[in-house]
Amino acid sequence: MIDKATYFVYSLNNPVLDFVSTLMNSQAFLVIAIAFLIVLFERKERNFARISKILFIIFLAYILTEGLKSFFAAQRPCVSEIVSKIPCPADFGFPSGHVLIAASVMFAYIKRKEFIVFWLFTILIAFTRMYLGVHTLVDVAGSIALAPLIFHFSNVLWRWVFGTE
Amino acid sequence: MELNKETSRQALHFALGMGFLLLLLLMGRNTLLFALSIALASGILLINQLILGRFERIKKIVSMFERKDARFFGESTVWYVSGLLICSTFLQNPNEISAAIIALGVGDSFSNIFGRMGRMRIPWNKGKTLEGMVAFFAGTLLSYFFIGPTAIVFSLAMAVVETLPQGMDDNFVIPIASAIFFHVIV
């Protein structure tokens, strides 16, 4: 049964939210938006090792998303409980790939002032996933909680491969 | 000084664990999930602001509970909340979630406090003591009130996991191990 928080967000109806949520649903938009923010924040320092590491984090987040979706095989709320505002995606629900990728990149900026931009971006994505009715609170909360794990493993793997932070 | 800091940190983790347990028992799993999500989202934003040098007074207070070897300020708290959130996401049964919270909030705190007084080193991890492992086991046995006799096996398994050389924060490893225990083994 769908939780109250998810149902509350899903039951909102606003044309601006409809537009923003549909736009953010596009994986191409997500990739372009993250890439734009990274370029914007890294344009002065041009630290390519750092940019590569962030790309590596995105790659790990993507792999983990696909693996966990297959492992848990959790149905999306729009399959049987609610009618989503967009066509219900065919793949499984947990975790939310959109949120996991955004949250993982956010953790890469934990020590920098740009963090707040990624924080807002992640919260907005989490909100829109529930608003569209394609994810529940469990899906998005679990995805945010998995982000530190991806950040940690990317650091470990990076250090193992390149011998540096 | 460092000893007091570690005791303060464990006292905070104990209090946090009891708070989340109370929330679970009174309001249910969904409310706990919601509260943990809010705590994690607002917590990392606060940590970022503290790292950037804002809110000096809060930073002083948080420093009292912080590990010396943390990768970033507030790291162990992020692991703690993330671990509980993942555990509450994976597990459906409130009794199993309660057991995991007890392992993290009570077992781990007992293990840290009593373990540092211990003398008998564990063969596979020289940084841990047998007294700490026994304290973890005894503390986690409180989960008997939620999961019945399974608590004995659960406490023993978690006590062993806690002593393994992990390379990760045990505040994260224990809830994940609890989730795996109930999800896969039980």
Checking if the pLDDT of B173 tops 80, the result is: yes
What ipTM is given for this predicted complex? 0.84
Task: Give the integer Cα–Cα distance in Å for B90 and A92.
Answer: 15
Strand partners, B129: B121
Task: Give the integer Cα–Cα distance in Å for B117 and A35.
Answer: 51
Give the mean model confidence (pLDDT) for residues A130-153. 91
Mutate to test the interface with B, among A144, A156, A165 (most CBs of B within 10 A): A144
Question: For residue A152, what are the contacts with CB-CB under 8 A and spacing of at least 6?
Answer: B168
Mutate to test the interface with B, among A115, A117, A127 (most CBs of B within 10 A): A115
* Average pLDDT score over chain B: 86
Confidence of residue B3 (pLDDT cuts 50, 70, 90): low
pLDDT at position A165 is 65
Q: Which residues of A touch B47 (CB under 8 A)?
A: 110
B145 token code pair: 């009130």
Counting every residue written for chain A, the total comes to: 165
Strand partners, B122: B125
pLDDT at position A72 is 85
Determine phi and psi for B128, rounding to 5 degrees: -115, 155
Q: A81-91: b or e for each residue (b if 16 or more CB lie within 10 Å)?
A: bbebbeebbee
Q: Which residues of A touch B72 (CB under 8 A)?
A: 110-111
Q: Which residues of A touch B82 (CB under 8 A)?
A: 145-149
Quick: pLDDT tens for B135-144. Answer: 999 999 999 9
A111 close to A151: Cβ distance less than 8 angstroms? no
User: pTM of the full predicted structure?
Assistant: 0.86
Of all residues in chain B, what percent carry a pLDDT higher than 70? 95
Question: For residue B88, what are the contacts with CB-CB under 8 A and spacing of at least 6?
Answer: B24, B29, B32, B33, B36, B97
CB contact under 8 A, A94 and B45: no
Amino acid identity, position A6: T
Strand partners, B121: B129
Window from A94-98, B59-63, B135-139 with minimum mean pLDDT: B59-63
Residue B113 Cα, gap to closest chain A Cα (Å): 26
Q: Output B155 or A163, whichever has higher pLDDT.
A: B155
Q: Where in chain B are the domains?
A: 2-185
Checking if the pLDDT of A1 tops 80, the result is: no
Confidence of residue B63 (pLDDT cuts 50, 70, 90): confident
User: Chain B contact for A116, CB < 8 A?
Assistant: yes
Checking if the pLDDT of B155 tops 90, the result is: yes
Give the mean model confidence (pLDDT) for residues A21-28. 90
Checking if the pLDDT of B2 tops 60, the result is: no
Give the mean model confidence (pLDDT) for residues A6-12. 90
